[in-house]
A and B are shown apart, each in its own frame.
Chain A
């Protein structure tokens, strides 16, 4: 029987260091991301942005 491959965490730890320095969203931001009224507004804005891009790219 072959022995299981040993786990080698160095690459994960290196990336953890980078990711660990990223900003975490505050409770307020997390709530805003789920707030139906705010998100309805964002939805309209996102669609408008995409439409603008579509029109800009067509020849």
Chain B
């Protein structure tokens, strides 16, 4: 009998747990540790953040699903990993602290034969003074709760606009090393859509404040498209949308500080600026969950498992190299820890070997470098890949086939909503293949021009809405869920 412990019940962890349970007999245990009682379809938080969807529609309780499927659920937060076990037991173990209200604060040590770290991002608001809704001066849409607060603040600004007073709304990235530019891009166009729907758009100035060197970078160094006989770029395509919707931009910015009503930032040329605002939604940079690792004797071995960013090291090539020297093969494909082959990290939890977007520095030494995005589709695929490898090892032995899925051989679909409504909605739909450019395979742009596309229209909105229902159906493990691709 084997015990598989999955840390995190987000896109990657929940997918891994469901596939593990589907493939492993009931004599094996699948255990999920997650501090939240609920599952959240994060992409739809954008609609919660403009008041078009209630938080209840993007979250659901995990307990009934895990109960039905026979997955053991601990509502707890992992704090430490002991890959060699302890004096009592040589099996790997995880130390957890319960967040479950009935056991809050209680600690436990859970033993495992295989561990999947899918703890996602720690929202690092602390990296920028005054950032974030908890004690800071800006809003966020990273959780359903944050998005609900942002929607209420936006509604207040719309009321002020209705009274005829001009307002400035700033949406973007709260630090030079943020990722998830796609989410801020989506939110800014949803805000624009709401302002238009309320008939107050002319009184509002909408500003997109980003760490991207140019629009359309999205943390993936932009994309090349072939359209109507021309080779064009996501830069031109995105700029066109900004021009059409009259959204202004500030590029290559590192936010230094957010004060009540003012954001202070430095740009790549080293100049420092201030922008007063009436509403600001600024995403935080991400860190890993900052788990600590110990060896059997209790000595700390965190650096053997984790990168300084708190993300877990996997089968990537982490040798320091210049940006131009990196190759597609440097990206991981099995998500196995090189130190412990029964430990995997999937989704945002694994440490990426390098940036996809070219990193830059200001003359003052400030790093302005979008971090690589690890979006929903690759996160789900990684979760499934690690699960299938573990199943094979449990059922066929340690030499069994290792499943692979590299982001350099995986596509991603980014459907950025630009307004809701079945007839009035719009979205910028982008697909890229592969996520990590492979210049050896696709000379020039590094990506397949057949599979990398961008288009704007109502169809994208329908697609986004369909994904909302489809992924919630899948996450609820309703009949046939396994046939819905990650």
The distance from the CB of B283 to the nearest CB of chain A, in whole angstroms, is 19
A to B contact number (C-beta, < 8 Å): 121
Contact partners of A10 in chain B: CB under 8 A: 271, 273
Question: Measured between alpha carbons, how far is A20 from B242 in the docked complex, in Å?
Answer: 9
Q: Does B275 contact A (CB under 8 A)?
A: yes
Question: Measured between alpha carbons, how far is A48 from B242 in the docked complex, in Å?
Answer: 28
| 8 Å CB contact of B273 from A11, A49, A54 | A11
Interface residues of A in 22-40 (CB under 8 A from B): 22-25, 32-34, 36, 38-40
| 8 Å CB contact of A50 from B267, B431, B457, B462 | B431
Interface residues of B in 152-207 (CB under 8 A from A): 207
* Closest Cβ neighbor of B242 among chain A residues: A19
Contact partners of B207 in chain A: CB under 8 A: 12
Q: Mark B406-449, 1 if CB is under 8 A from A, else 0.
A: 00011111000000000110100101011000000000000000
The SS class assigned to the A binding surface is helix
Question: Measured between alpha carbons, how far is A20 from B240 in the docked complex, in Å?
Answer: 8
Q: How many residues of A contact B (CB 8 A)?
A: 40
| 8 Å CB contact of B485 from A5, A11, A54 | A54
Question: Measured between alpha carbons, how far is A25 from B455 in the docked complex, in Å?
Answer: 12
Question: Measured between alpha carbons, how far is A20 from B244 in the docked complex, in Å?
Answer: 10
Contact partners of B405 in chain A: CB under 8 A: 57-59
Question: Measured between alpha carbons, how far is A23 from B405 in the docked complex, in Å?
Answer: 38
Q: Does B250 contact A (CB under 8 A)?
A: yes
Q: Does A18 contact B (CB under 8 A)?
A: yes
Interface residues of B in 130-148 (CB under 8 A from A): none
| 8 Å CB contact of B249 from A4, A7, A19, A56 | A19
**B242 close to A8 (CB less than 8 A):** no
Question: Measured between alpha carbons, how far is A6 from B457 in the docked complex, in Å?
Answer: 39
Contact partners of A57 in chain B: CB under 8 A: 381, 405, 409-411, 433-434
The distance from the CB of B92 to the nearest CB of chain A, in whole angstroms, is 27
Q: Does A51 contact B (CB under 8 A)?
A: yes
Q: How many residues of B contact A (CB 8 A)?
A: 52
**A11 close to B251 (CB less than 8 A):** yes
Question: Measured between alpha carbons, how far is A48 from B453 in the docked complex, in Å?
Answer: 13
**A52 close to B251 (CB less than 8 A):** no
Contact partners of B276 in chain A: CB under 8 A: 4-5, 7
Known A10-B273, A11-B267: A46·B244 in contact at CB below 8 Å: no
**A39 close to B462 (CB less than 8 A):** yes
* Closest Cβ neighbor of A12 among chain B residues: B248
Q: Does B215 contact A (CB under 8 A)?
A: yes
Known A5-B274, A19-B249, A43-B462: A56·B451 in contact at CB below 8 Å: yes
Q: Does A15 contact B (CB under 8 A)?
A: yes
Contact partners of B343 in chain A: CB under 8 A: none
* Closest Cβ neighbor of A23 among chain B residues: B240
**B381 close to A58 (CB less than 8 A):** yes
**A15 close to B249 (CB less than 8 A):** yes
Contact partners of A36 in chain B: CB under 8 A: 423, 458
Tell me the A residues contacting B by CB distance below 8 Å: 4-8, 10-12, 14-16, 18-25, 32-34, 36, 38-40, 42-43, 46-47, 49-54, 56-59
Other A-B pairs, 7, CB within 8 Å; known A18-B215, A58-B485: A10-B273, A23-B240, A24-B244, A36-B423, A49-B451, A53-B413, A58-B405
Tell me the B residues contacting A by CB distance below 8 Å: 207, 214-215, 236, 239-240, 242-244, 248-251, 253, 259, 262, 267, 271, 273-276, 377, 381, 385, 403-405, 409-413, 423-424, 426, 429, 431, 433-434, 451, 453, 455-460, 462-463, 485-486
21 sample A-B contacts, Cβ–Cβ < 8 Å, listed by A number: A5-B262, A11-B267, A11-B273, A12-B250, A15-B251, A19-B242, A19-B243, A21-B239, A22-B243, A23-B236, A24-B244, A33-B456, A33-B457, A34-B424, A46-B455, A46-B459, A50-B413, A53-B433, A54-B485, A58-B405, A59-B403
